[in-house]
Structure 1
């Protein structure tokens, strides 16, 4: 096991925010020889603590692969990754599983709720499995932030899709992870429910100090973020601060144009 410390003041790129996650020279390749496919090609990026970062790019650009590598759900071919001050590259499975359980939250397109449990039981399930008691004051704050106070005894089949995803958001927040990763978290929701969930994610950053990384293809969803990292062909090609849906859409159209002329 190797452990490295990222300077909490400057991070890896000379900025002034603490770094919640960091990739340095990451390559992810599948296959070998003529069949070798490079999904990530020498990617370096810092994820700022207490911020909302979106990862965008054309289909096949490597955005989900980057998120999975940052979250320790997939291994890298070369390069290094940190969560906070801990380098996760090369961690044994048992230690990596414990780190994910204790420090990382996940929100996926599928809600992944257990149908036999009610909302509050689903929210506290990861902590129950880990043998940890919930911080009741924090749990109450999370439940209030995501607007579930009157739905805690309802089972998933008694909740709308938007409400189920809000349960999934609360589950990710409840354990107070250092960072939450979302892979198209509103992909299965209609626009109204999606806007509700995105609003809750935004509030969790602004009011609860959470750090969120979200992969999305939706310019409207990306506009909720503080910063967007754009990937193309496995490389980071651009970054946008204080995005708007129109600016994001224009940038994505630029990718489409480049694809047609390449």
Structure 2
């Protein structure tokens, strides 16, 4: 596939991405030449062993962190070409975020939390689209409640609705079920998949959980800061088997090479 084709089909991508923290003896290569595209209108999960670089990849792809070398794109926009002001505007207008912590404002109602990014940008929401989103996330009867009156799963549904409210090109989700029980987590994951299908938007999710990854259309696997595999139509069992293979390989390599000679990369 040509670079032009990839750009046209991708909501986000990184090319030859390298991220280095520290210098000299303390140098850590969190990303080591990663090239990966996240197709538009799809739900992609990023997985890998602890320290594989998966969160670093998401942060750099989303413009929350900068690459040491290589390039990150949202659509056809090269993030490295943007100054701080334009990067802030791009994140506000074209990217949504869902984090492990719900990050809701306790003094605002559910409705106000959902529209907060639009209000801060001075943008009038598409009322029909917003109503459809509220129904999709199942919050119609909670709009006037405050976060303290909601369960953890309900709060994360508010966060999901807020991420999609501005019709972003891509939503990045970093361990979105990490603070939820299994039932609430399952509801949020089904919600993410349903929202992708109904709105045609794109979700990129970092997770360590094979069950969570199985909700995605595709899983990309990192190990030691490198892209090592992609899996379409994942199941929890297939993802778990792949992760076990990583663990087995890491154990073998550690036994052969002895004490590590470089710092562990970030997750």
TM-score range, shorter chain: over 0.9
Tell me the alpha carbon deviations over residues 128-182 of structure 1, each in whole angstroms, 9 at most, x when there is no partner. 0000011100000100001001100000000000000000000001100000000
- CA drift at 1:231: 0.2
For normalisation by structure 2, the TM-score amounts to 0.93
The answer for the alignment partner of 1:11 in structure 2 is: 6
Q: Does 1:196 align with 2:174?
A: no
Q: How many residues align?
A: 251
How far does residue 208 in structure 1 lie from its aligned partner after superposition? 1.1
CA RMSD of aligned residues (A): 0.9
The answer to whether 1:240 aligns with 2:235 is no
Residue matched to 1:3: none
Q: Show structure 1 runs of 5+ residues with no match.
A: 1-5
Please state if 1:129 is matched with 2:114.
no
- Please, which moves more after superposition, 31-40 or 159-168? 31-40
**Matches of 2:196 and 2:124 in 1, distance apart?**
23
Higher relative contact order (CA 8 A, sep 6+): 2
- Give the C-alpha shift of residue 91 in structure 1: 1.6
1:164 paired to 2:155:
yes
Q: Which residue of 1 aligns with 2:92?
A: 101
Partner SS, residue 246 of structure 2: helix
Q: Tell me how far apart the structure 1 counterparts of residues 13 and 160 of structure 2 sit (CA, whole Å).
A: 23
> Counterpart in 2 of 1:56?
47
The structure 2 residue matched to 1:34, chosen from 25, 39, 48, is 25
In the TM superposition, what is the alpha-carbon distance from 1:90 to its structure 2 partner?
3.8
* Displacement of 1:245: 0.3
Please list every run of at least 4 consecutive aligned residues from structure 1 whose deviation after the TM superposition is greater than 6 angstroms. none
Alpha-carbon distance in structure 1 between the residues aligned to 2:124 and 2:168: 14
Q: Distance in 2 between matches of 1:30 and 1:192?
A: 37
Structure with greater helix percent: 2
Aligned to 2:142, what secondary structure does the other structure show?
Answer: coil
Tell me the TM-score normalised to structure 1 length. Answer: 0.94
- Identify the residue that residue 73 of structure 1 maps to in structure 2: 64
